Amino acid sequence: MKYLAIFMLFVSVALSAAEKVVFEAKSIRDWGGAVRKTTCKDGIFDTNRDLFVLISREKFPIKPGKTYRLTGDFKLKPYAPFGNIYFGFIALDANGKTIRRVYAGQSPYNDRVAPGNNQQVRNFWLTFEGVVPSEKFKFPKGTAFVQIILHQFEDYIVDMNFKNIKLIEE
C-alpha cells in the first residue's frame, strides 16, 4: 500500500511538471475588448444578456515544439435562446500584429462552444477544449504570440456563464 501511494505521488508530480498553466481567467481585469456588462463573482463570469468580445489583456509567447490546450466550462442560462460562443486564439506575429484567429474545436473558423436548440436549452456546464497544434489546428506561420478570445457572434444575445478558462502549455 505504501508503494502504491508513493507511485501515485510520483505520477501526479510528473504530470503536473509536464503541464504549465500559462493563463487562467480569474477576474474581469484579465479581459479587454467589449466586456461591457460581463461580470465575475467567485470565478464564474456572467455575460448579463449582452453582446461581448473578450480578449485576454496579456499576449502569450508560443514556443516551437510545444502544444497548447485551451479549455473552459460554459453554461447557457435556463431561459437563454440558442446561440453560439466562439472560443480560441488571436495569432500574433513577433511585432504583435494580428495574423488571424484560430478557433479551438470542431472547425477552426466556427466552433460553437455553447450549443443549444429551440427544443432543448442547455442549462448544465459543458467543457470545451481545443489543442494546437493538432491534426486539425495549427498556428499560422509566423505566430510568435497569442491572445485568448471568447465572443458572441450572432444577431441576438446569448446569456451564459463561463468559468475555468485556461491556456495550458504541454
- Break the chain into its structural domains and give their ranges: 20-169
CATH topology of domain 20-169: Jelly Rolls (2.60.120)
Question: Span 51-75, mean pLDDT?
Answer: 89
Closest CA to 52 of 161, 168, 143, 170: 161
Query: What confidence tens digit (pLDDT) does each residue in 93-118 have?
Result: 999 999 998 876 543 333 444 444 44
**66-70, 130-134, 154-158, 160-164: which has the minimum mean pLDDT?**
154-158
What cell numbers appear for 165 in the block? 478558462
Give the C-alpha separation, 19 to 25, whole Å.
17
Residue 110 contacts residue 87 (beta carbons within 8 Å) = no
Q: How far apart are CA 80 and CA 32, in angstroms?
A: 24
